Amino acid sequence: MTDSSNPRSVQPIKPVDPAACRMLRFVDRAAIAVGSRYFVAGAMARDLLLVNTFGLPSGRATRDIDFGVAVESWEQFQALKGALIENRPVRCRAKAGPAADLDGSRHRSQHPPRLDSVWGCHG
């Protein structure tokens, strides 16, 4: 088994929406700039496979794009946040929160600056 999937290509008859391409490139550049890996989730991930790769209908109900970004420290999180804010497109909103143990404890994360907000996370 390998750590990567079989590569697929977007079919020319079903190109990805230009606005979605701009957002995907925007997040890609920001993540690369701070050394983070990311993935696309939600309806956009489904549509990239069903519609744009295999030409199947999806019945898409949402227009947002969900990303998961792996950061290794609060410093890297702040750098990513800064890169996203500094270069964001005009109509870009983001929600961010940890899904890992950045504070070193398993399945919970404390938020700076006072570390008084604790989130539980399991997955």
Within a 10 A sphere around the Cβ of 61, how many other Cβ atoms? Answer: 6
Alpha carbon 2 to its chain's center: 22
Taking only the tens of pLDDT, the chain with its 123 residues reads: 455 556 666 666 788 888 888 889 999 999 999 999 999 998 899 888 888 888 888 876 777 888 888 888 888 888 988 888 887 765 666 566 555 555 555 555 555 555 554 444 433
Concatenating the DSSP letter of every residue in 16-50 gives PPHHHHHHHHHHHHHHHHTT-EEEEEHHHHHHHHH
Does this model's pTM top 0.85? My answer is: no
